[in-house]
Amino acid sequence: MQPQKKLINSVDSCVDEAVCGLVRANGGLSLLKGHRVVLRSDLENLRGKVALLSGGGSGHEPAHGGYVGAGMLSAAVAGGVFASPPPASILAAILSLYNAGASGVLLIVKNYTGDRLNFGLAAEQARNHGVAVDMVIVAEDCAFDRPSKAGRRGLCGTVLIHKLAGALAQEGCSLDQIVSKVTEVLKGIGTLGVSLSPCSVPGCLPSFVLPPGDMELGLGIHGEPGIKRSKVGFADEVVKTMLDHMTNPDSQSHLPLKSGDRVVVCVNNLGALSCLEMAIVARAAVICLENRGVEVARVMSGSFMTSLEMTGVSLTLMKANQETLRLFDAKTSAPAWPNLSSVCVTGRSYITDPPATSTRPQEDTYTEGPLSPVMRQVLQMICSTLLDKQEELNSLDRAAGDGDCGNTHAQAAKVIQEWLQDHVIPGCPGQLLSVLARLVQEKMGGSSGALYSLFLTAAAGHVTETQSNAAAWASAVHAGTQAMRRYGGADPGDRTMLDALCPAVDELMKLTTSQPGGHMAILQAAVQKATLGAEETRNLTAKAGRASYIAAERITLPDPGAVAVAAILRAVVEVLEAQK
């Protein structure tokens, strides 16, 4: 088994380069020379206020360096990957904050033995330097029913403590006041994680083995084992399992939660869950809590305390009152804190009604006109032609596409046939084209449906009941073709339906200047041009559409879209010839 591939320069330098990258990318941060310590670059603004310091092993980014800024941490110290930072760096950070004029320094520490020891040692040393230091231990993990003597682990709830303590410090609260308030809030915070994969420290093998299709509930952020392994379920089931476990009164580490309680929810990506999955989990969490009668006041969803590339998520719940929410909503310049809404999630009207005016023409207001019978005949002929050609078009499409060109055209034909049975043909050609545009858009599918709908929509405005002579129809067809070119991005010669349509349109434009007696000859010539254009596509190299991804020498048949266009035009002209 090989170590996981990672985009780094070297195992030895990865933490220093990551810390440097964070600071170089954010103007509000600076680096303490000789240490892996990220500082606020405006330390002078700490004068007379309590400074906040946190930190821990690297690999949990954006924790903790991403939370340095006005309204959150004053500094963060990083250890090696999943390793507690050394006391010397912690002390250097404390003294930097003290020398900047801070009235005291609060250490916010996750409940891991290494962190407790190293931050504790640095705190004792700082006191010997005359610094007023206090420490808050975050231990909000809800995984274990009977926690060991080491106690509950510190997880993503730590980030919420950064935020609340930071807001209090920004307002000028004393060290004792901040410690007292966040200690109280900590009683109402719980976190539980679930993972679908392990993670691996750079240069090392994965932290544990998880069989495909399994998930681990209650694991730590360093890949420590959880409490239960099971098959991956649906997102809703997984979230319900997590919340049930977190709030189970039989567990010593549960978060007491009852109907009527108000909470902040943090949906935390442990590293490699997609944004799509995160949004699904967030939805499930909100619905599950609301079904229990819990008021969801705020939701933050994203990567807040990760575990390298672990494919998993943790849920943190924080009971909240108005004061807690006020501190939670307070502004911060910390780069990793999300830009959250301060509107309560539960009770918010989150569905917007669509516009009252429908884009669908009022079909019951149509009245027939002189052109209605011939337009019905033309549509019937087009539909029967496309149904007859279904397999031919599919066969042509199999050479260069996915073999469904005939099916999509036949689908459009069937939909139009059904519509013809139940509706009158409006006397206004533009209204008919608009109806057809909607039908193919909704039912034809694929890029063909979009292209035909574009053509019909753009053409519709050029033919009305009073303006439906040959010149108007020619202008309509020209406008439709231009819309196809503009939005589809193809041109004649690219081996698409345009290779049949554009030569025909060039011929049809002669209708704008010709005498009525010559119209039929122009129509027949347009059909010939379309047929020839379709046939010649067998010699073209595809530059647009799906066929453009196929090697040119493999494509020796005509383009099915062009063949379909030629057949449609031929059907139209055959009906018009029969009218003479």
DSSP, collapsed to helix, strand or coil, labels residue 148 as: coil
Is 59 annotated as a binding-site member? Answer: yes
Catalytic residue among 162, 222, 409, 478: 222
**548-561 b/e with 16+ CB inside 10 Å = b?**
beeeeeebeebbbb
417 and 453 Cβ atoms separated by less than 8 Å? no
Q: How far apart are CA 224 and CA 334, in angstroms?
A: 29
User: Is position 64 annotated as part of the catalytic site?
Assistant: no
Q: How far apart are CA 333 and CA 312, in angstroms?
A: 28
Q: How far apart are CA 561 and CA 544, in angstroms?
A: 12
Q: How far apart are CA 94 and CA 88, in angstroms?
A: 10
**59-90 b/e with 16+ CB inside 10 Å = b?**
bbbbbbbbbbbbbbbbbbbbbbbbbbbbbebb
Q: What are phi and psi of 98, to 5 degrees?
A: -65, -45
Q: How far apart are CA 329 and CA 320, in angstroms?
A: 12
Q: Find all residues with CB under 8 Å of 500, minimum gap 6, and list them.
A: 530, 531, 533, 534, 537, 561, 562, 563, 565, 566, 569
For residue 165, what is the enclosing H or E element? helix 157-170
- One-character DSSP codes across 37-91: EEEETTGGGGTTSEEEEEEEEESSTTTTGGGBSTTSBSEEEEEEETSPPPHHHHH
Q: How far apart are CA 488 and CA 545, in angstroms?
A: 9
Q: How far apart are CA 499 and CA 491, in angstroms?
A: 8
Is 57 annotated as a binding-site member? Answer: yes
The tokens 């996915």 sit on which residue? 402
Is 60 annotated as a binding-site member? Answer: yes
262 and 293 Cβ atoms separated by less than 8 Å? no
**Residue type, position 192, single letter:** L
What's the chain's Rg over C-alpha atoms?
A: 34
Crossing angle of helices 405-422 and 560-579, in 10° steps, is 30
Q: Closest by alpha carbon to 533, among 507, 499, 504?
A: 499
C-alpha distances out from residue 83 to 125, 225, 274, Å: 21, 17, 27
Q: What are phi and psi of 246, to 5 degrees?
A: -60, -30
Q: How far apart are CA 137 and CA 110, in angstroms?
A: 6
Q: Which residues fall in the annotated binding site for substrate?
A: 57-60, 110, 115
**Residues forming the active site:** 222
Q: Which residues fall in the annotated binding site?
A: 57-60, 110, 115
